[in-house]
Amino acid sequence: MAKSHKISVQLRKDEGKGASRRLRRAGSVPAIVYGGQLDPVSIQLSHNDVFLASQNEWFYSAILDLDLNGDVQKVLLRDMQRHPFKPLISHLDFQRVRDDQDLRVRVPLHFLNQETSVAGKTSGVIVTHELNEVEVSCLPKNLPEFIEVDLSGLNVGDIVHLSEIKLPEGVEIPELKLGKEHDIAIVIAKHAKEEVDPAPAEGEAAAADAKKDDKK
């Protein structure tokens, strides 16, 4: 089931780059809320609150409750702009969600039990995660904050594909509807390649033998 997280916001009356700069200097982040058959609304948030929230995985994939003095709107984060080199958030875009309308959201993958699998315990085997997130489609009430992928049965040489992910009820992966070629690998377990010096070419070998004869 989807979880929600409340974030307090305020209306933003002043528009323009100058007003946004003043907000940032005062410790706030300018943002906009759009969608859901309502007009876009300019808001502002506490930078400290947003920065702390942004350290959590759920901030990027979960439904957020934007609380404007008790008026709560359910949204998803759709864009975040950061300062080029300072640890500062410059701007946020939020999209309103409707309970009766499917969402398309990129959700993180959590890989479990890799260390206890045969592949994970075999020396010289590398397990690579080809994807760390996947786009899903579902109603807001079914949106997972992450999807678990159980690798306890992973053997050497195994390839886990997108279609093998066990999805929560009501959740789909749109890409799988596009054809078999879109059923891409998400996990690969294979032996590490050993680097072997290539055999010398015939000419090089002959030259080496000639040098040995000269020294005799």
- Return d(Cα 206, Cα 179) in angstroms, integer: 55
Query: Under the phi-then-psi rule, with left for phi > 0, alpha for psi from -120 to 50, and beta for the rest, what region is 27?
Result: left
What per-residue confidence (pLDDT) applies to 74?
93
Domains contained in the chain, CATH given: 4-96 (2.40.240.10), 103-191 (2.170.120.20)
- For the chain, state the CA radius of gyration: 26
Question: Which pTM does this prediction carry?
Answer: 0.78
What per-residue confidence (pLDDT) applies to 194?
45
What per-residue confidence (pLDDT) applies to 17?
78
What per-residue confidence (pLDDT) applies to 103?
93
pLDDT along the chain (216 residues), means of 10: 78 80 89 90 93 94 90 93 92 94 95 95 93 96 94 95 95 95 96 59 53 54
